Amino acid sequence: MTNPQLPSPTRYELTREQFAEVLGGEPKYRVDQIWDGLYTQLANPADITNLPRRLRAELSESLPFALNPVTESVSENGDTIKFLWELAGGSKIETVLMLYPDRATVCVSSQAGCAMGCGFCATGQAGFTRHLTVGEIVEQVVRAAQRAKESNRRVSNVVFMGMGEPMANLDNVWHSVERIHGDLGLSARHITISTVGVIPGIRSLQDRPLPVNLAVSLHAANDRLRDELVPINRRYPIADLLSACTDYLAVKNRRVSFEWAMIAGVNDRDSDARELAALCRQLSPHGHVNLIPLNPTPGYPTVGSSPRRVQEFRDLLESLGTNATVRRNRGTDIDAACGQLAAGQPVTLSARP
Nearer Cβ to ligand SAH, position 10 or 105? 105
Task: Please identify which residue in 116, 177, 186, 199 interacts with ligand SF4, judged by CB under 6 A.
Answer: 116
The verdict on 292 binding ligand SAH (CB under 6 A) reads yes
Alpha helices (H) in 99-133, listed in sequence order? 122-126
Nearest distance in Å: CB 27, ligand SAH: 43
Q: What is the DSSP string of 238-261?
A: HHHHHHHHHHHHHHH---EEEEEE
Active-site residue 121, yes or no?
A: no
- How many residues belong to the chain? 353
Task: Please identify which residue in 9, 37, 124, 135 interacts with ligand SF4, judged by CB under 6 A.
Answer: 124
The verdict on 192 binding ligand SF4 (CB under 6 A) reads no
Task: Please identify which residue in 118, 134, 199, 266 interacts with ligand SF4, judged by CB under 6 A.
Answer: 118
Task: Please identify which residue in 107, 114, 142, 263 interacts with ligand SF4, judged by CB under 6 A.
Answer: 114
Site for ligand SAH in 102-161 (CB under 6 A): 114, 120-121, 161
Question: Would you tell me how many other CB atoms lie within 10 Å of the CB of residue 69?
Answer: 14
Question: Would you tell me how many other CB atoms lie within 10 Å of the CB of residue 27?
Answer: 9
Site for ligand SF4 in 126-155 (CB under 6 A): none
Contact indicator for 322, 256 with CB cutoff of 8 Å: no
The residue from 72, 94, 136, 165 that is catalytic is 94
Cα–Cα distance measured from residue 313 to residue 201, given in angstroms and rounded to the nearest whole number: 30
With 0-12 / 13-18 / 19 or more C-beta atoms within 10 angstroms meaning exposed / middle / buried, residue 7 is exposed
Nearer Cβ to ligand SF4, position 80 or 109? 109
- CA 253 from chain centre, in angstroms, equals 22
E-assigned strand segments in 39-198:
68-74, 80-86, 92-99, 104-107, 111-113, 128-131, 157-160, 191-195
Active-site residue 58, yes or no?
A: no
User: Which range, of 32-40, 178-186, 191-199, 201-209, touches ligand SAH by CB under 6 A?
Assistant: 191-199
Contact footprint for ligand SAH (CB under 6 A): 114, 120-121, 161, 165, 194-196, 217, 259, 261, 292, 294-295, 297, 338-339
Residues designated catalytic:
94, 338
